[in-house]
Amino acid sequence: MKTAAAPVHEIFCSRQGEGLYCGRRQVFLRFAGCNLDCSYCDEPAARSLPSFMMTPAEAAAEVIRQARRGRARMVSLTGGEPLLRWRFIKALAPALRRAGLALHLETNGTLYRELGEVIGLVDAVAMDVKIPSSGGHRPLWSAHRRFLSVAPGKTFIKAVLTSSSSMSDLRRAADLAAAAGRDIPFFIQPASAGDTMRHGVPVPLPPSARQVREAESYAKSRLERVKVLPQQHPLWGVK
């Protein structure tokens, strides 16, 4: 049975601007649709369905074309939330791997069952820990814990910090990571300054320098590999 087409927002080659592979050239395959609604989302357009659908074969061909043209050796499966399309990823991944491309999954870290379906096909998992006070969403600690248990050895963690982030939430995020392993890379990502309103909804402001210092200090007391790294795309002027 053929895998159905999935809503793809865009495919392009650029440099990764976050996390463990920051600075590395990647092809970004951005799926549309998300199961969350974070107020600090930097890709709100990818929450809704795009104007086109793609089959796994069509997406693989375009990703490989972009990788060869851009001299990239890694593909970022991103969104939206790519694990909503786990069947599509299972059909897509073999062609990308045959082309010599590594797979980097960027996810909100909540769909642990879906991760289990594809974890053997991806090389790295960039997991967001959603701090409730950072973005106004409900607590997701239980889902995050189960997600992280699937493949801690392949996973690194990002935690977005905003002016509204509480230190109790940040401490809980660091504790959750440490419970899976003190050597898990943990990135504190201060929200970038930008529009104060997005689609009529207030966007959280960047954290203060004191918030960042306190977050970093606690995280380093629990974890071996902690780094403060804002998004680099705005600084580089690229997508």
Structural domain contains residue 103: yes
38-86 pLDDT, tens digit per residue, is 766 766 665 666 668 999 999 999 999 999 999 999 999 998 899 999 9
Residue 197 lies in a domain: yes
Q: Is residue 198 part of a domain?
A: yes
Number of Cβ within a 10 Å radius of residue 217: 10
Inside any domain, residue 237: no
Helix, strand and coil percent figures for the chain, each rounded to 5: 40, 25, 35
What residues contact residue 199 under an 8 Å CB cut-off, 6+ apart? 44
Number of domains in the chain: 1
Q: Does 238 fall in a domain?
A: no
For residue 194, the enclosing domain spans: 6-230
CATH number assigned to the domain comprising residue 53: 3.20.20.70
**Rounded Cα gap, residues 43 and 31, in angstroms:** 11
pLDDT score for 237: 82
Does residue 37 lie within any of the structural domains?
A: yes
Decide if 1 is inside a domain.
Answer: no
Domain-located, residue 187: yes
Tens of pLDDT, residue by residue, the chain (239 residues): 567 899 999 999 999 999 999 999 999 999 998 888 776 676 666 566 666 899 999 999 999 999 999 999 999 999 889 999 999 999 999 999 999 999 999 999 999 999 999 999 999 999 999 999 987 678 999 999 999 999 999 999 999 999 999 999 999 999 999 999 999 999 999 988 654 434 445 567 899 999 999 999 999 999 999 999 998 988 888 87
Q: What is the largest CA-CA distance in the chain?
A: 55
204-207 long-range Cβ contacts below 8 angstroms, 24+ apart:
204/39, 204/40, 204/134, 204/135, 204/136, 204/162, 204/163, 204/164, 205/162, 205/163, 205/164, 206/162, 206/163, 207/161, 207/162, 207/163, 207/165
